[in-house]
Structures are given as C-alpha cells and as structure tokens.
Structure 1
Amino acid sequence: MNIEIERKFLVNSNRFKTEAYKSYSIKQGFLNRDPQRTVRVRLKNNRGILTVKGKSTDDGLSRFEWEKEISKDDATALLLLCEKGIIDKTRYEIKSGNHIFEVDEFYGNNEGLIIAEIELESTNESFEKPSWLGEEVTGDTKYYNSALSKNPYKDW
C-alpha cells in the first residue's frame, strides 16, 4: 500500500527533451475509470503493470496507489478488455535538483498535450521548477489519464 503525492503541470516548450536522461513508450488502458477506484493496465516498453488508484484528496495532491508487475502477454491481453480510449504516449524522465520530473508527450486523440508530473514526499515539499514548466494543473481531473481516455484533448 502506498500513498502517492504528486503535482502536475503543463509544459510550455520542448526544451525538456534535451534534459531527459531516459525515455520510453507507454500504452495504457482502463479496466475501470470510477473515481473511487481506477484500475489501469499499462504496457511500458516490454513490462506490464497493473495499477489500482483510489480517490484523490480534495486538493488533488495525494491518493492511494497499488501496483503489481505482470507479464507483457497478460498486459497485452488486458489492454484488449479495457474501456474505449487507449492512451499512447512517450514518457521522458528529467532530473531537477533532488527530484525527477516525468513528462508525458501524448499521441493520437491527445496529440499536442504535454504534462509534467513530480512525486513528492510531503504535500508542502519544495522543488526546483525548470524553465519549461508551465501552469500547474494538480487536481484538475480533466488532465488525469483516465479522463483523457474518455474525453481526449482533441475534443476540448
């Protein structure tokens, strides 16, 4: 069991790509998008991951998260059972001070959307903000991947 504390931001330029030390493709779908208990299946390169997330706190900063690695074959099969709206993106990892930003560049129906996330140890922890970091969207549920799979960026 784990409580995830995370902040989300829009990204205002592609400069983050030159700072990335790692990138990989992600395909993910949702077996359940209920805000009380989201169930996600993800294929991250050749690794499968099953994730259950609980309801976010009112400020959107934290929520329960449980993850379990599964086989690539199981993840591929589960993606076929997912609700409509598979998310396709590249994730970039960028070191910034003592933290790592994960920046997702979306494709398909979410093309043009780039979101940066940072996981923190506490809700009031400070961190360095890179120049490419834009408006904070923490707690804005339309930027949750589960919402983007149902109401993609191209339809806004």
Structure 2
Amino acid sequence: MIEIERKYLVTSDAYKQEAHAQHFIAQGYLNSNPERTVRVRIKNQKGYLTIKGMSSATGASRFEWEHEIPLEEAKVLLTLCESGTIEKTRYEVTSGTHCIEIDEFHGENSGLILAEIELQDENETIQKPSWLGKEVTQEAKYYNAYLSAHPFRSW
C-alpha cells in the first residue's frame, strides 16, 4: 500500500504517438489535507475512492489505498467534494519495464502536462523518453490536490 512514483514535466506531445491507452478522468477531493487526502475519481465509467497519506521527505513515496466503488456513488460523492474538480486525459506509454502515465489537464489547469512513473524502489533506474523534462517529484504545487485549489492558470 505504499506508492512510489516520480513526477516530471512533459516537454512535447510526442508521447501521444507512443501511447497504448488513453482515458478521461474527473476527480475531486473530499479532503485535500496533505496528511490524508481523500479523492473520488471517475475513470472510464468506473468509480474509485482513494486515500493517500503524507509524502515522504523525498516526495516519492506515500501510503495509498484505493477501492473501486459503483459509478453512481462516485458521481454523488463528486458533488460533495471541495471546489476545484480536476479533469484530465491520461495517456499510458511503456518505457522499458515501466508504464509512464501522462496527464494532460483541462479546464483551469489547461496547459499543464505531467508524467508519473510508478516504481518498486525510490532509487530505481528508469529509461527517460526525450519528451520527459524536469523532475518535479518534490514540488507540492504539482500534486492534484494542490491543483484543485490553486489551478495552473492562476500561477
């Protein structure tokens, strides 16, 4: 239940040609406190409830619990969320043994494109495609919970 991931800015849309999957995601936060975020997500007509704990000092790992819930329940829970629903298209690209998830944000976060790579170990080596830019793992302003309250367009 410990999630280990690194986040990067994306420098071009070349990932779209490499993507093997694409999903639309809408999500909101019932609680955006960094010590325990509670997220409701709809992805591909499926609902999910996710609880995340505080990030480690490196920002790369934290507790994560996720459970699929009925779509109708997810829709109702989204109406109870804090303001600032996140909408994004997620692309999945395989790089070596890893799956890179690239989020192209919409609405108030339009213009922001982030990539996340889940790891087995914080020090794991990854193959970085040419379109993967600056690492922003430790920068809290790139967390979705932060973006919901402080949209990219307002920076």
Could you say which TM-score interval applies, normalised by the shorter chain?
Answer: over 0.9
Residue of structure 1 in register with 2:146 after alignment? 147
Q: In the TM superposition, what is the alpha-carbon distance from 1:14 to its structure 2 partner?
A: 0.3
1:149 aligned counterpart, secondary structure: helix
- Alpha-carbon separation, structure 2, partners of 1:151 and 1:130: 29
Q: Equivalent residues in 2 for 1:1-156 (5 A)?
A: 2-156=1-155
Superposed CA offset, 1:12-56 (max 9, x none): 000000000000100000000011100000000110000000000
- Alpha-carbon separation, structure 2, partners of 1:120 and 1:110: 26
Unaligned runs of 5+ in 1: none
Q: Which amino acid aligns with 1:83?
A: E
Count of aligned pairs? 155
Percent identity for Structure 1 against Structure 2:
58
1:77 aligned counterpart, secondary structure: helix
- Alpha-carbon separation, structure 2, partners of 1:81 and 1:90: 23
- Alpha-carbon separation, structure 2, partners of 1:82 and 1:26: 15
* Off by >2 Å, runs of 4+ in structure 1: none
RMSD: 0.4
Superposed CA offset, 1:102-136 (max 9, x none): 00000000000000000000010001000100000
TM-score scaled to structure 2, two decimals? Answer: 0.99
Unaligned runs of 5+ in 2: none
Q: In the TM superposition, what is the alpha-carbon distance from 1:139 to its structure 2 partner?
A: 1.4
1:124 aligned counterpart, secondary structure: coil
